[in-house]
Amino acid sequence: MTKRLLAAALVAGFLAACVASALQFALTSPLILAAEKYETAAAPAPVHAFANPLIVLAHAGHDHGADEAQWQPAPGLPRLAFTALATLVSGVGYALLLGAVLVAAGRTVTPSEALTFGIGGFLSASLAPAIGLPPELPGMAAAALEARQLWWVATALATAAGLYLVAIRRGPAAVALGLALIVAPHVWGAPHGPEEISAMPPVFAAQFTARSLAIAFAFWAVLGLAFGWAWGAVEGRQGVARQTGVTA
Amino acid sequence: MVAITRSLSPALAGERLSAVLLAAALGVGLLFVSGFAPVVALHNAAHDWRHAHNFPCH
């Protein structure tokens, strides 16, 4: 069971990462590069010029300014390669979680069942957090990172638990509790940063948000379908191996 | 077919439990590295992925 789960997750993560990487290169990476031009143009370079050298402001200017001294992938192909690698690592990570949930829920894993759970993953980890924290381009003002990460994780977990209660448990109490869990993070409210006027054309931000969610949907759909398919394919191979083992 | 369904449905225990726990721990670990780790080099490597998939990023 463990081997089968790991193998199916590797296959599903790889296939979803292939699709998502291609879509990211075509749709979101060009927008990120364009936004970074505005970000570097608007970076408050003189911050250090008049500041007391003994006082180092945490997050002075923008993190990117501080990051530039650190390692980062070279522009062009290396950057695309590292983005693809991060997509692969995350794809396998999400596939492992999807498989763990499917097995824990005691479902018979088929492509359609895994697709249904994959769409649940999209709703929990992509759509629900995006309501409070829309996908943002580099250079857009935002609240403190830790507060946003905490809200993001809490929202994803609450939405997933809520969907489980509403769609699988289904009792009146479960549905009520599930709906409350889904709504609660948004009533609580996502941490918001200052509203800044940016030189970046707003169409960039709008395009980025829509494309980001579209890619996330394609990613989760492929992840679910591929996990269901790979789960069956691994079983087929194990069955054949067992049969040949018996006859041999 | 009925036997398969029945063998899957009992309480989470034994091999199923260990498979679920291992996959969940591995999955959370991989997602932490690619989506949340504050290490600057990891952030920079995964930067475009984090933005594209709406992980809070810098």
Provide ipTM, 2 decimals: 0.82
CB pairs under 8 A between A and B: 158
Residue in chain B nearest A62 by alpha carbon: B58
Alpha carbons A230 and A15: distance in angstroms, whole number: 10
Write out the E strands in chain A.
none
Q: How many residues does chain A have?
A: 248
Structure tokens at A43: 């970076």
Q: Do A108 and B8 touch (CB under 8 A)?
A: yes
Q: Residue A74, class by beta-carbon neighbours within 10 Å (0-12 exposed, 13-18 middle, 19+ buried)? A: exposed
Alpha carbons A148 and A140: distance in angstroms, whole number: 14
Tell me if B46 sits within 8 A of B32, measured CB to CB.
no
CA B13 to chain centre: 20
Checking if the pLDDT of A54 tops 90, the result is: no
Cβ contacts of B44 within 8 Å, gap of 6 or more: A67, A70, A71, A72, A73
Alpha carbons A190 and A136: distance in angstroms, whole number: 14
The Cα of B55 is separated from the nearest Cα of chain A by a number of Å equal to 7
B-facing residues of A in 81-100 (CB < 8 A) are 82-83, 85-87, 89-90, 92-97, 99-100
Task: Write out pLDDT tens, residues B1-58.
Answer: 555 544 454 566 788 899 999 999 999 999 999 999 988 999 999 999 999 998 998 7
Q: Do B56 and A149 touch (CB under 8 A)?
A: yes
Residue in chain A nearest B11 by alpha carbon: A106
Task: Write out pLDDT tens, residues A137-188.
Answer: 888 878 889 999 999 999 999 999 999 999 998 999 999 999 999 999 999 9
The Cα of A104 is separated from the nearest Cα of chain B by a number of Å equal to 6
Task: Write out pLDDT tens, residues A26-53.
Answer: 999 999 999 988 887 765 544 444 444 4
Chain A partners of B8 at a C-beta cutoff of 8 Å? 106-108
Q: Do B23 and A99 touch (CB under 8 A)?
A: yes
B-facing residues of A in 132-171 (CB < 8 A) are 133-138, 142, 145, 148-149, 152
In angstroms and rounded to an integer, the radius of gyration of the C-alpha atoms of chain A is: 22
| Residue type, position B9, single letter | S
Alpha carbons A217 and A230: distance in angstroms, whole number: 20
Q: Do A2 and B19 touch (CB under 8 A)?
A: yes
Structure tokens at B28: 């959370």
Q: Do A93 and B31 touch (CB under 8 A)?
A: yes
A-facing residues of B in 2-21 (CB < 8 A) are 4-5, 8-9, 12, 15-16, 18-21
Q: Do A71 and B44 touch (CB under 8 A)?
A: yes
Q: What is the mean pLDDT of chain A?
A: 86
Alpha carbons B54 and A45: distance in angstroms, whole number: 27
Facing residue for A70 by CB, picked from B18, B44, B46: B44
Alpha carbons A88 and A39: distance in angstroms, whole number: 28
Alpha carbons A181 and A183: distance in angstroms, whole number: 6
Tell me if A157 sits within 8 A of A182, measured CB to CB.
no
Checking if the pLDDT of A56 tops 60, the result is: no
DSSP string of B25-53?
Answer: HHHHHHHIIIII---HHHHHHTHHHHHHT
